[in-house]
Amino acid sequence: MSKKKFYKEYIEPIIIAVIIALFIRAFVVQAFKIPSSSMEPTLLVGDHILVNKFIYGIRIPFMDKKVLQFHQPKRGDIIVFIYPRDRSKDFIKRVIATGGEKVEIIRNKIYINDQLIEDPWGRYERPENLKYIPYIDHYGPYLVPQNSLFVLGDNRDNSQDSRFWGFVHLNEVKGKAFIIYFSWDRYANHIFNKIRWVRLGKLIR
User: Which active-site residues does the annotation give?
Assistant: 38, 93
Half-sphere exposure of 168 (CA within 13 A, CB side): 32
Find all residues with CB under 8 Å of 152, minimum gap 6, and list them.
Answer: 93, 94, 96, 122, 159, 161, 162, 163
* Phi then psi dihedrals of residue 21, to 5 deg: -65, -45
Find all residues with CB under 8 Å of 31, minimum gap 6, and list them.
Answer: 48, 49, 50, 51, 181
Q: What is the largest CA-CA distance in the chain?
A: 78
